[in-house]
Structure 1
């Protein structure tokens, strides 16, 4: 796998684009702090971009399935470059409208880029290397998040805000150049041969025909409950301990745990059946949500985030392998667009629910609710899979 140039292009591209993305996110927050006084208005501005990504999701899926994946990835990179130009205008005019255009363009680009990239991965490596590549791709994303946020925060202390977007602009140009070196054999793509196929409505019947895919989609709700509430939970723990230091420790412990999980996944997967692994990880993640009941004790708070990070570092690459192998290849673009749309909607619901529950029942109550939901889903689908004799196997 490591002798495959496409693998290095994908990993390097993921790292590079992550740096630009996180530099932009930190820049967005800093810009909004200057020009948008209301927290509610800030959330509405961010939601504009997310909504745009949701709206174009079905179209993105159809286009990805009917087009060459490399072309889609490169065009998405061009859209990212154009989006930063809107942000330069926003900085020059101090206008929120231009920032909204920046967010919308960026999210539309992501709606095409991510599903196309997820469709490319099974095209460039053998089935036995899928889990390893998915894990390393997520590691590259995690490392870029850690470095990107740290570097952006450091730069804001010494340079003007515009330099963050200059870095993003350069990074997205580099991304376009890197992806131009991809070498993909797309001559056998059935959807390219038949332009009439590719209706987005065909995704749901396909999912129903593949119970493993359906169960995996539902099980992904379990880590999303934790991830969607992640930042709010860390802020709440920081308030409980009256310490800003613990916030940094929690982010660090979770990031290290994630990378260790992703790095060790192939070794674990060689010893454990994929179905057993998936349900075990879901059970551990649900248990960590219950562990938030002990978040007022610093050791247990750090332990919870460390184990959660390790578990999701194993969980997400495992789910990606299931999707990439079980979903027919001529459905990949539409399916991954559909999955990204579901993620976006659930994240918004979880975020709003977390804020409400933290106000009404506190962190312990929220952890109890999320933990019960997660463990109930895990046990229910485990019993369902045994009753229906669904074999969670992708080899």
Structure 2
């Protein structure tokens, strides 16, 4: 832990807290405004669409200007969006709410890739895996605690207090970020004005290890993108909505447990190899979940394993990218990574809805687990054939 990284963690804890306070408040506002489920879904989809469209431009900007400046501006936009959401509440305006969500997602298109780049500058290579694991734990604790607090707050306090909480979180977040110091090793002012986004695809061709990583993340999101629908369906099948809270809680607890043991799991081993093995583990966890249709204990076991494997997988996903992506293209690559994540999430959500609508939960989980395990095995074989090797204890890697 160093001062910079501590400030990054504290600021992001507040960022995630503000995000989740806002999500709960906006859901409640949409209910009060009498919006149908279709319009609610449409409002929630519009924001991520703009994030995807903005990502290529965001990547170019991050590679052209200092990372701290972009993080600061993105934070100010997030704060402005919180004020807009409060105004939408006072005026009962759906259009202002939509505008604020669009602007918030555009700000996140700049913020998330910038933060990944910043961590790579602040933390030594040998400590990146631990840093990403700690970052994951902090954001998980924030998500779990704020969702619990928000549920209670909406039961006892006026909705106004939720929007005030969002503003307070973003205000303190921006204040803390003033104390972040990032020393970039290259002078971005010397870059040419044109920074083609297509360079990301050329990079994938030069470093095919990244293709294996993208295949892995696609398989993770194949289930994760529709996980909320799966949990909802399980609670409906067992006619017990308390199950939802238990499943979210178990997943989060095991996600955090994994964060404390992730360094021992990887050690000096090949990061991509262990990353792919963990993806196979998530496939096995999803396979166990399918029996949750008959026994809720199978659902608990499946989500416990899924949370643990995810908790071990997520830090290495960020670490591998931070280690091998050249500094001059990090912004564009991390922007592409965020764009890819969002697209796969939305497609996975549609896939889950289709499977639950025309088949059933058992079939969905069965097919998804087979797909995850099959593709991860392909990546494993590919890894052995091409001899992709990357370790925290090596300054270079094969291929």
1:348-392 alpha-carbon deviations (Å, 9 max, x no partner): 111111111112111110011111111111111112222233335
1:75-116 alpha-carbon deviations (Å, 9 max, x no partner): 011001111122122112211101001101110111111100
Preserved CA contact (<8 Å) 1:292 1:363: no
Among 54, 64, 67, the residue aligned to 2:65:
67
| C-alpha distance in 1 between matches for 2:284 and 2:160 | 43
| C-alpha distance in 2 between matches for 1:147 and 1:322 | 29
What does residue range 186-265 of structure 1 map to in structure 2 within 5 Å? 186=184, 188-265=185-262
Preserved CA contact (<8 Å) 1:191 1:198: no
- Corresponding position of 1:185: 183
- Corresponding position of 1:336: 334
| C-alpha distance in 2 between matches for 1:207 and 1:343 | 16
Corresponding position: 1:41 with 2:34: no
* CA-atom RMSD in angstroms: 1.3
Corresponding position: 1:274 with 2:271: yes
Corresponding position: 1:385 with 2:358: no
Q: Which stretch of the first structure deviates more once superposed, 286-295 or 271-280?
A: 271-280
SS in 1 for 2:344: helix
**Residue 195 of structure 1: how far off its partner (Å):** 3.6
**Residue 152 of structure 1: how far off its partner (Å):** 1.2
| C-alpha distance in 2 between matches for 1:258 and 1:315 | 10
- Corresponding position of 2:153: 155
Preserved CA contact (<8 Å) 1:65 1:192: no
**Ranges of 4+ aligned residues in structure 1 off by more than 3 Å:** none
**Residue 227 of structure 1: how far off its partner (Å):** 1.2
1:266-288 alpha-carbon deviations (Å, 9 max, x no partner): 12211643233112101101111
- Corresponding position of 1:364: 362
Corresponding position: 1:303 with 2:311: no
TM-score, with structure 2 as normaliser: 0.95
| C-alpha distance in 2 between matches for 1:385 and 1:339 | 21
- Corresponding position of 2:74: 76
- Corresponding position of 1:15: 13
**Residue 190 of structure 1: how far off its partner (Å):** 4.7
| C-alpha distance in 2 between matches for 1:111 and 1:292 | 33
Corresponding position: 1:347 with 2:351: no
- Corresponding position of 1:290: 287
**Residue 246 of structure 1: how far off its partner (Å):** 1.2
**Residue 197 of structure 1: how far off its partner (Å):** 4.8
**Residue 164 of structure 1: how far off its partner (Å):** 0.9
Preserved CA contact (<8 Å) 2:22 2:162: yes
Q: Which consecutive unaligned segments of at least 5 residues does structure 1 have?
A: none
| C-alpha distance in 2 between matches for 1:298 and 1:148 | 26
Q: Which consecutive unaligned segments of at least 5 residues does structure 2 have?
A: 395-399
SS in 1 for 2:198: helix
| C-alpha distance in 2 between matches for 1:169 and 1:286 | 40
What does residue range 22-171 of structure 1 map to in structure 2 within 5 Å? 22-171=20-169
| C-alpha distance in 1 between matches for 2:212 and 2:228 | 27
| C-alpha distance in 2 between matches for 1:390 and 1:343 | 23
TM-score, with structure 1 as normaliser: 0.96
**Residue 34 of structure 1: how far off its partner (Å):** 1.7
1:209-232 alpha-carbon deviations (Å, 9 max, x no partner): 111111101111122122111110
